[in-house]
Amino acid sequence: MTESTVTEANAGQWTQSTIQARAWFESLRTRICNEFEAIEREAGSDASFTFTPWNREHAGEPVENGGGGVQGLMKGKVFEKVGVNVSTVGGAFSPEFAASINGADPENPGFTATGISLVAHMANPHVPAVHMNTRFLTTRKAWFGGGGDLNPPIPYDEDTADFHAAFRAACDAHEPGDYDRFKAWADDYFFIPHRGVHRGVGGIFYDHLECGDATSFDANFAFTRAVGEAFLDVYPRLVRRRMGMAWTPQDKHQQLVWRGRYAEFNLVYDRGTLFGLKTGGNIDAILMSLPPEAVWA
């Protein structure tokens, strides 16, 4: 696996907290990718991830000490398209964008951000698609955010219950965790107003878990790691449960219509997409969340 483009040689601009969080996100990526490749092997596929490093740019030019990341992408028999990206970037927000970011303003637009972002679109319409993201940002403040949500074209109550139970357990085991609030936050956030429907069956979403001192950083980081572990535990189980099911042309059409709605949300409402585009992120990595095929009919 290719390492992140943020090396020890240029890490002087990054706080130790950012470097620590980045190392965890990269280790989680490795374990997730290994597990997804193992599922492909079980299905008789030799598909594997390709890893493409990138450096942060502004107006087409590299940003000195701006960081970058690695885009991981696999197209296989089970995972029609799955992206697992890690990035660690820094610089300054534009004045108008800084005004919308926690702890930043036009007079103090500096930031660093590190995180992992994952979206999986599945070949079998009975297997739920999924999104997961955790991140650590610093401006004049520092905080963790993230979560995960399940997006089945054909929902199964058992899958929904198991997915939520995994995140409830992660929340209940850590003081910063608040399952009821974070579940409600996800229900509110992952909603398509112009359709009047939710994007999927929910999960958890949290943001601005602020780290004003070492104690709060340790607690919020431990909770964020628990969210990643919960995802790695539950989602492969759901994939293995459904990936051998037969499907009909009607099932596939239902999946493609649902994917159209997923694309609408990510292009119109998703904050992560906007953040990446506003901060000189890699376009292909940002838009890896879009499905490989969709219909609007």
What is the reported pLDDT for 9?
31
Q: How far apart are CA 296 and CA 75, in angstroms?
A: 23
Going from the C-alpha of 237 to that of each of 55, 84, 90, 93, 132, the distances in angstroms are 35, 18, 36, 40, 16
What is the reported pLDDT for 110?
84
The pTM (predicted TM-score) of the whole model is 0.90
What is the reported pLDDT for 58?
60
Catalytic residue among 126, 131, 164, 198: 131
Using left for φ > 0, alpha for ψ between -120 and 50, and beta otherwise, residue 219 falls in alpha
Q: How far apart are CA 226 and CA 206, in angstroms?
A: 13
Domains of the chain, with CATH numbers?
A: 8-289 (3.40.1500.10)
What is the reported pLDDT for 61?
59
Q: What is the dihedral of CA 188, 189, 194, 198, to 10 degrees?
A: -70
What is the reported pLDDT for 65?
65
What is the reported pLDDT for 205?
97
Please give the chain's pLDDT, 297 residues, in tens: 333 333 333 333 578 999 999 999 999 999 999 999 999 999 999 999 999 998 876 656 556 667 889 999 999 999 999 999 999 998 888 777 878 888 888 788 888 999 999 999 999 999 999 999 999 999 989 999 999 999 999 999 999 999 999 999 999 999 999 999 999 999 999 999 999 999 999 999 999 999 999 999 999 999 999 999 999 999 999 999 999 999 999 999 999 999 999 999 999 998 888 888 877 778 888 888 999 999 997
What is the reported pLDDT for 13?
56
Active site residue 194: no
